[in-house]
Amino acid sequence: MEHYLLLSRSNVIIASKVNNKAIIALSSLIHAMIEVEVVAVARLVVKMNKPPLLVVLAPFVDADYECLFEVEVR
């Protein structure tokens, strides 16, 4: 993936702290993506009657938390 594609808006996706199933599911996805060294390409529909956005989901793990970085591809 070319780095210039990631020069746009970004968000951080984390699991809800009170939903253990969501924490385990997101953690499993993040660690699997890191293990096979991939990112995900997704279509994000913000609201009805707006065109979908193409985003890249990149995994990130730190000592304190795990997340997916969502970056809009332009």
Compute how many other C-beta atoms are within 10 angstroms of the C-beta atom of residue 70.
18
Structural domain boundaries enclosing 65: 3-72
pLDDT of residue 8 exceeding 90, the answer is no
3-class SS at 4?
A: helix
- List own/partner pairs for 21-30 with CB under 8 A and 24 or more apart: 26/66, 26/68, 27/66, 29/59, 29/68, 30/59, 30/60, 30/61, 30/66, 30/67, 30/68
pLDDT at 6: 59
Query: What is the total count of domains within the chain?
Result: 1
Tens digit of each residue's pLDDT (9 = 90 or more) over 12-63: 999 999 999 999 999 999 999 999 999 999 999 989 899 999 999 999 999 9
Q: pTM score, two decimals?
A: 0.82
Specify the pLDDT at position 7.
63
- Residue 73 has a pLDDT of 83
Q: What is the pLDDT of residue 10?
A: 85
Q: Amino acid letter at 24?
A: I
